[in-house]
Amino acid sequence: MSNLITAGSFDGILTNPELDAYPIPPSRTVQNIIRHSCDIVRSDISPAYQALLARCIRRNKQLVRTLRGLGRHEQADRVDFCQHPCKRPGGSSFIFSCHMPLCVFCGYQRQRRLAERWSRAAVGTPNPFFLTLTLRDFRHLAGVPRVLTGDFYQLRRRKYFREHCAGGFYCIECSYSPVRDRFHPHIHALLDAVDPSESWFSQTWKELTTAYIVDLRKVPRHEIKPTFLYMLKGPCDSLEPRAVSEVYSSLGGTPLFRAFGIVTRRHGLCRACRDKPRIGFGETCGHARHWE
């Protein structure tokens, strides 16, 4: 198949009028690939966007090399093929999205999709506070999101939290330090809170996790949306082989972004289902609504 797209040919594809000439290689599956309105298209690309594409391509190429070094050739093929024009068996063309963790293109698309769905609710937060909760360093990430989510759930069940915080959003991130070879998991939360106490958060979080590093700050009205977009970044910004291996082994398919409290109640979840992971964001559980 001599007309297949080769690695590094994305710049040439942007100006190639014969997109239908590029089918998907037989070794790459197109199952579970969803075409979304936020997918990158090739028309009307500004110079600034071309520069962004160049940076994304360089980072994805680095990710591909790391995945191949780890023996994850199938994932590397999908990342390398991400955002290439493809042809379905029926003849229609589309832009391939790999939906792999740490892929820059798919990370931007995920960020934009979540922003489209939730930014209006975030910007409308009456009393926005940005909260950061950390855990002690871990060598491996297996089970860490479940532990972190459970500890944050216990914090939200405290009487003080329920009295001062009506709800909000939170996202899990695990930064990696190659010097210490440790992961630093933490939660970023955008809260709708009234006069929250940083000392209470620090003391209570230390009781729950033995970690005492807590940061709480008021978010100005004009900074709510940038802060919300900052929360929606990828789970890890390191492309070290250890970090990539742990993310692909332990965080694949893990829900890293959630809403809670009044935000979920406004989107149709009853009190019994608002914290269940099987309920998707923006969906209704089908049960009777019990408002508090």
From the list 93, 62, 95, 92, the residue with the least C-alpha distance to 80 is: 62
Domains of the chain: 10-100 (no CATH), 117-266 (3.40.1310)
244-245-250-251 Cα dihedral, nearest 10 degrees: 20
pLDDT of residue 14: 39
Q: Please say whether the beta carbons of 266 and 117 come within 8 A.
A: no
CB 173 within 8 A of CB 235: yes
Separation CA 186–CA 107 (nearest Å) = 19
Distance CA 202, CA 215 (A): 8
The single-letter code of the amino acid at 42 is R
Instruction: Name the pLDDT band for 219 (thresholds 50, 70, 90).
Output: very high
Let me know: does 110 contact 257? Beta carbons within 8 Å: no
Q: How far apart are CA 37 and CA 35, in angstroms?
A: 7
pTM beyond 0.75: the answer is no
Say how far apart CA 57 and CA 208 lie, in whole Å: 42
User: Rounded distance, CA 245 to CA 132, Å?
Assistant: 25
Between strands 128-134 and 165-177, the pairing is: unpaired
Whether residue 105 is predicted with pLDDT greater than 80 in this model: the reply is yes
Q: What is the per-residue pLDDT across 56-97, written as a single tens digit (0 to 9) for each?
A: 888 999 999 999 999 998 888 888 888 877 766 666 677 778
